[in-house]
Amino acid sequence: MLSSSRSTRSLRLLQFITSGASRHRCSSTGIINAPDVLSASSQATAPRTSQLKSNRQISLFNGLDSAVPDADVTFFNECVLRLRHALNGRDVERVWTCWSQLEERKLLKLLGPQLRGYSERLAKLCPTSLEAGELEKLKTVTTMALYAAGRGAVDALVACMSTHLRASDSCAALGLYDSYLCELRDSQEKCLPSDTISSPEREGEDFVELIDELASDAPRPIVVHSSVLVAAIAAHTLSNAFHAALHAFLQYPRQIPRRLVKEFLSQFPDVSFRTKVESYVHRLSTARCLSNPRLLTQRTSLLARHLDDAGLEKFYNTIIEGLGGAEAYIAVHSGEITESKPVALDEMHWAAFLTAFLKCNRRDLGTSLWNDMLKFGTKPTAISWTALLDGYDHIKAPEDAEKAWNIMVAQGTDPSAMSYRAIISAFFNAHKAADAVKYFGLFQQRLAEGWTPDPADCLAVYNTVLHGLLINGREGDAHALLERLRQKGPKPDIVSFNTLLRYHGRRGEFRHVSRILDQVMEEGLTCDVYTFSTILSSLLKIGRTDATGLILNLMRKQNVAPNTAIFSNIIDHQVREGTELGLKAGMELLRWMEQSSEAQPNYVTYTGILAGLHRQGWANTAFARECKEYVLQQMRNRDVQVNRTFYHILLKACLENPAPEGLQEALRYYKEMVDRKIVLSYDTWYVLLRGIISREAWAVADELVQDLKRQMSPYGSLENLVLRIRKRTTWRKRLGPNVYF
């Protein structure tokens, strides 16, 4: 009877996902590269329509409203050639003549991406001092530099500002900065595409910020180039005006790569000035994090994930120092923000640090933070207590979590829904289900008494309980709870169903998977990537060779377009399963994508598969090696370009693989970067040394540090890693040969 029921359920699911498949098409977009010179049609060699078409393309490319006359195009091309020769000959007078002619005929607007190269050459023509006869030359270069900077090419402007700084004229440098802002406002709709997307100085930009900037429908904000911003900060430093620098920076805040600061300051011989500018930049970057809570949470989470307690402590101390002193710039509460203290250390910031400290198992720092909160007059609310509970959950300390809970309640703080979620999770993850259920009962009792927490937070508690019941072997209770949610609310979301799908999918219980999928459809929910990946795994486990096709039909049934992003994520899920079955499914999906017009694989797809292959050891090493070779060959065949980020991802994945080949593969990629002359950035060295330290491969670490120091002087978190390696090396030498036995 059971066999019959199972067969019927499986048949129902398969019938559902194989029916009603619809076709989807995607459009492609062609990209036309910018020409070095503009093309003008000739009436003698082409019809009038061709001439109009050519001029219209020129206008469209340069964002103009009307076509450019042929005479102007011809003059422009001739003048640009003269301009280029004058720049190469370092003849400022001839450069200015050509520039003035273009300006007079209103043709400067035709200068596109080539402005970047012109600005770089102009920077070399900028006087390095204000000696007699050089001032007029500087004014000439400045005029052209400002125009170019307003359109994203800033090298010449930075050179002009630097000249004023070397002459200790901060007012003149800041005057140029103000003029630059005016140029930006006038031309923000005509910035160089490369400055918006792929400028080298934006490589360190927060990825989330870039995505938000590109996706927003709001008018594009003014983006001040980091190099110009550093020059402006240096000018304020020269005037000992930290708070003026702070307000200027917060008006247009952005990440400033330390490499860029080092490069800019290398032209100034005064060590004390360089140190002071670096101090300003460091504090301004801290203020930026406090002005955007998301940035601070991301940074503390990243440091905690890498167990970088030293970096975390240093970041925390910088903030505490900013609360006092002659140049205090951080308010204790948001209600105390003033002109001199424009950012505040709110409770959510304290909470982020508290959780991060405990994730690093630094209870001492957590205790110190709690004392600091009280010292500065911040009374802990449910936000701080929940952060403390989350930290105890992470380090598997449910008893400490319960003590904290009791103190919280005794002090009169009402637990929030997220507080209940945290302590319930702490007990479930410690496999103390009875205690977890006890607190879940208290939560339900408060709801029955009329308490109305945020619906999303409330559902998060129920989803935590569903997960906790399953990992503690209480499958029946989990299904009963889900059914109760369906009947009485709050209505379960796709996360609720995915929790049960994952549990039964991993156990190969396709009958349960089928039933849960039916419930998803009954609730009118749309499956997500996680759902599709889980169902795919389940189909493979029951031997369905047509699993990929079935998933495609299911997606179409739900009107989910099978695009590149979705399939790249599904493949990533499959490879991360760490099973040969999952790897085969991932490779089958990849081949389907390669033959599809709907979801062609891209750089992200291939990088994700390679990272998954490197991240762990595989029982079938021959098959894993075959998959790696196939992916690399396809990337070559499809001319998929790789960059430094590609290597960072693979280096990190290799070093996470505990097997010896993980280290070998990482060193192979490192050598490949060197051989291909790919610049090893700060991030490259951080990924390498962090991974090597976690493996305790000290001999390799010593060699890498030597390579690093030949290229750059380590600073910040990278310097901390070097110090850890050096201390370990000193300890080994002190112990002598016995350390190796």
Only one residue has tokens 């031309």, namely: 187
Give the N- to C-terminal CA distance of the chain in Å, as an integer.
63
At residue 59, does pLDDT exceed 50? no
Phi, psi of 316, deg, nearest 5: -65, -45
Q: What are the tens digits of pLDDT across the range 422-449?
A: 999 999 999 999 999 999 999 999 999 9
Q: Would you state the pLDDT for residue 280?
A: 97
CA distance 358 to 673: 37
Confidence of residue 189 (pLDDT cuts 50, 70, 90): low
Non-local (6+) Cβ contacts of 178 within 8 A are none
Q: What are the tens digits of pLDDT across the range 290-312?
A: 999 899 999 999 999 888 898 99
Q: What are the tens digits of pLDDT across the range 360-400?
A: 999 999 999 999 999 999 999 999 999 999 999 999 999 99
Q: Coil, helix or strand for 331?
A: strand
Instruction: Return the minimum-mean-pLDDT range out of 219-228, 332-341, 375-384, 505-514.
Output: 219-228
CA distance 609 to 323: 46
Q: Would you state the pLDDT for residue 481?
A: 98
CA distance 413 to 424: 18
Give alpha helix (H) positions in 306-346. Answer: 309-321
Q: What are the tens digits of pLDDT across the range 457-498?
A: 999 999 999 999 999 999 999 999 999 999 999 999 999 999
Q: What is the mean pLDDT of the chain?
A: 85
Q: Would you state the pLDDT for residue 474?
A: 97
At residue 283, does pLDDT exceed 90? yes
Q: Would you state the pLDDT for residue 1?
A: 38
Q: Count Cβ atoms within 10 A of the Cβ of residue 196 and give its class: 0-12 exposed, 13-18 middle, 19 or more buried.
A: middle
Q: What are the tens digits of pLDDT across the range 652-702?
A: 999 999 999 999 999 999 999 999 999 898 899 999 999 999 999 999 999
Which whole-number Å values give the CA distances from 589 to 585, 596, 626, in the listed order?
6, 10, 16
**Alpha carbon 100 to its chain's center:** 43
At residue 133, does pLDDT exceed 90? no
Q: What are the tens digits of pLDDT across the range 200-224?
A: 343 333 333 333 443 344 455 688 9
At residue 274, does pLDDT exceed 90? yes
Q: Are 405 and 423 in contact (CB under 8 A)?
A: yes
Amino acid at 222: I
Which whole-number Å values give the CA distances from 300 to 135, 224, 358, 391, 422, in the listed order?
48, 26, 11, 13, 19
Element (H, E) at 443: helix 433-448
Confidence of residue 134 (pLDDT cuts 50, 70, 90): confident
At residue 176, does pLDDT exceed 60? yes
CA distance 140 to 578: 64
Q: What percent of the chain has pLDDT over 90?
A: 62
Q: Would you state the pLDDT for residue 34?
A: 41
CA distance 91 to 502: 70
